């Protein structure tokens, strides 16, 4: 504050200047505080943005690791599936010969396809297994009853009689089961023998057909020879050969008949002349 002012107006002006100076100083202090606060806030925002970027980068890194793990898992699954596929292809190749044999057997039997024949054979095997199990169970029951009879032989005559009856029934059942099993065995053996005979007959037919085809093949002009295993096509070629030469055969037969007629007439005339 300014003291002992000579003039009232001058003192008032000085007070106003002091007030303005104080206000200016206060504003400068406030501006400095505001500037400091702004710097602090900018620093806070930068730190927060850096934390967010770090969190985002960590999340992206985890996602990449998860994707790599999933890719590795899928690669292993794919390798396993390819291995299974190759194993199945090898099994199909190994079983191809059995399938061809079954197809040939089906052609010689009353069945329409391989599946029906396989089902019939599986049914026979099922019955055979069923009868074997029944026979084993019956033998086990017989042994058990024999042991029981030995234990109760002297003490329970009536029970022994009942067990004897059961034993007789079981023996009858065993004989019946055995007879059925033998019957199925004979049927199965007959099927095998029939299949073998028909397979042999089929082979002979194929060889005869091949011989006929080779005999006619030399006289027929063809662009391409028939496969030696294609019996049906060979038969078709032989049939075509016969049809093509049927007219020639008929003409030859007619000429032969005329020649025979003239010969017989000549013989009759000759005989009449000598008589």
pLDDT tens by residue, 42-83: 777 776 666 776 777 777 777 777 877 777 787 787 778 888
Identify the segments of the chain with pLDDT beneath 50: 1-8, 220, 274
Half-sphere exposure of 261 (CA within 13 A, CB side): 6
User: What's the whole-model pTM score?
Assistant: 0.30
Query: In this structure, are residues 198 and 101 in contact, taking their beta carbons and an 8 Å threshold?
Result: no
**Structurally, how many domains does the chain consist of?**
1
Evaluate whether residue 173 is within a structural domain: no
Evaluate whether residue 91 is within a structural domain: yes
What gap in Å lies between CA 121 and CA 212, rounded to an integer? 37
Query: Which single residue is written with the structure tokens 């009536």?
Result: 158
What gap in Å lies between CA 218 and CA 216, rounded to an integer? 5
Query: In this structure, are residues 149 and 178 in contact, taking their beta carbons and an 8 Å threshold?
Result: no
- Say what the pLDDT of residue 11 is: 55
Evaluate whether residue 81 is within a structural domain: yes
**Measured CA distances, 211 to 49, 232, 233, 246 (Å):** 94, 13, 13, 20
Evaluate whether residue 62 is within a structural domain: yes
For residue 46, which of 58, 54, 57 has the smallest C-alpha distance? 54
Q: What is the dihedral of CA 186, 188, 192, 197, to 10 degrees?
A: 50
Evaluate whether residue 237 is within a structural domain: no
Token representation of residue 173: 């059942």
What gap in Å lies between CA 186 and CA 105, rounded to an integer? 19
- Provide the domain limits for residue 51: 10-107
Evaluate whether residue 60 is within a structural domain: yes
Report how far Cα 142 is from the mean position of its chain's Cα atoms. Answer: 46
Evaluate whether residue 39 is within a structural domain: yes
Neighbours of 212 (CB within 10 A): 16
What gap in Å lies between CA 121 and CA 101, rounded to an integer? 14
Token representation of residue 39: 């710097």
Evaluate whether residue 33 is within a structural domain: yes
């Amino acid at each position: 504050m300014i003291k002992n002012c000579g003039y009232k107006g001058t003192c008032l002006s000085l007070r106003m200047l002091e007030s303005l100076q104080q206000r200016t100083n206060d504003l400068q202090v406030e501006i400095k505080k505001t500037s400091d606060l702004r710097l602090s806030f900018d620093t806070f925002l930068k730190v927060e943005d850096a934390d967010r970027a770090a969190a985002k980068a960590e999340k992206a890194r985890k996602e990449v690791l998860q994707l790599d793990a999933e890719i590795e898992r899928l690669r292993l699954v794919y390798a396993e599936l390819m291995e299974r596929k190759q194993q199945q292809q090898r099994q199909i190749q190994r079983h191809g010969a059995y399938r061809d044999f079954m197809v040939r057997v089906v052609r010689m039997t009353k069945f329409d396809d391989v599946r029906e024949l396989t089902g019939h054979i599986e049914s026979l095997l099922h019955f055979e297994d069923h009868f074997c199990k029944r026979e084993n169970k019956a033998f086990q029951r017989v042994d058990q009853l024999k042991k029981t009879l030995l234990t109760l032989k002297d003490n329970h005559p009536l029970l022994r009689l009942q067990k004897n009856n059961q034993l007789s029934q079981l023996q009858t059942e065993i004989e019946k089961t055995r007879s059925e099993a033998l019957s199925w065995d004979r049927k199965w053996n007959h099927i095998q023998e029939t299949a073998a005979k028909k397979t042999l007959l089929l082979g002979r037919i194929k060889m005869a057909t091949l011989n006929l085809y080779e005999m006619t093949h030399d006289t027929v002009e063809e662009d391409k020879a028939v496969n030696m295993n294609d019996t049906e096509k060979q038969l078709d070629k032989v049939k075509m050969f016969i049809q093509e030469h049927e007219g020639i055969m008929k003409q030859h037969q007619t000429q032969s008949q005329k020649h025979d007629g003239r010969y017989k007439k000549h013989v009759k005339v000759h005989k009449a002349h000598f008589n």
